[in-house]
Amino acid sequence: MRGLASLARSGFSLGPKWWKLLAGCLLAAFLAWGSIYIYGELTAPPPKEAVLQGLAKTLNARSCRYRAVAVRVLEGKESVISEINGEKNLRGVHLWGTLPIIKAEVEVYHLGDVLYRRDSLTKGWVSVPGKDRAAVERLIAEINPLGAFHFAEQDNIDARYAGLEKAGGKICRLYEVMARGTNKYMELYWEDFNYRVWIDRQDGFIRRAEIVAEHRDNSRHLLKIEVELKDFNEPVEIMEPQA
């Protein structure tokens, strides 16, 4: 644009033919971009298939990082249950963050068959023995947002395409989903899970998700989880914590 302005000031002007050529090039570029966009939308899989493909690709990624915030809504009042950061690779999972509802911090490693947790008093690391594993595994299941993405009955998934939106700086297809999960700990208290899932148009990974569920004993008692995911298949190193 500055170049055209300079030419105009210098007395140089494009003739009608040049303007028509320039307009034609811009129109051709716009039509080409529009054709690619329309083709991408027309060839996208049906909503249910797209969601299942996105879930499979995301859960089977060699590595990723994520952040999740879980909020309890009771009688219209919100309280944060957990704010968790996580990273995973083929070796294991590392989770850390806060549990504001009980004013506690948590950090856990799950590497193969070994569990480590940070002691809240000494701040040192403790290897969790077998007899205490159930409690820690339950904690991991409750605070690990990826556990909420496992669906029990894929035939009964109801998915609807809700348009294009940006998530994590990526253009994504947004889907609204009703499904039943397989997280036995979450389903002790919660039911009627509703999902909003943002799936990257380019690589098919889930970039963002929102999950809302109702308490089994009180439909006005809600659980809301917001998850952001990134760094898929990027180098993520998870080592045993040092004593």
**Structural domain spans, the chain:** 14-43, 47-230
* Average predicted confidence (pLDDT) for the chain: 79
d(CA 176, CA 159): 6
CATH architecture of 47-230: Clam (2.50)
Residue of higher predicted confidence among 68 and 120: 68
pLDDT digits (tens, 9 = 90+) for 6-48: 444 444 454 566 555 655 556 555 544 444 444 445 557 899 9
Is residue 183 predicted with pLDDT exceeding 80?
no
Edge-first strand order for the sheet with 104-111 is 125-127, 114-118, 104-111, 92-99, 77-88, 64-74, 218-230, 206-215, 190-200, 170-178, 158-167
pLDDT of residue 130: 61
Residue of higher predicted confidence among 2 and 175: 175
Q: pLDDT tier at 140 (50, 70, 90 boundaries)?
A: low
Is residue 105 predicted with pLDDT exceeding 60?
yes
**HEC string for 106-174:** EEEEEECCEEEEECCCCCCEEECCHHHHHHHHHHHHHHCHHHHHCECCHHHCEEEEEEEEEECCEEEEE
pLDDT of residue 10: 47
Whole-model pTM: value is 0.77
Label the pairing between strands 206-215 and 92-99: unpaired
DSSP class of residue 87 equals: E
Q: pLDDT tier at 198 (50, 70, 90 boundaries)?
A: very high
Phi, psi of 36 (to 5 degrees): -65, -45
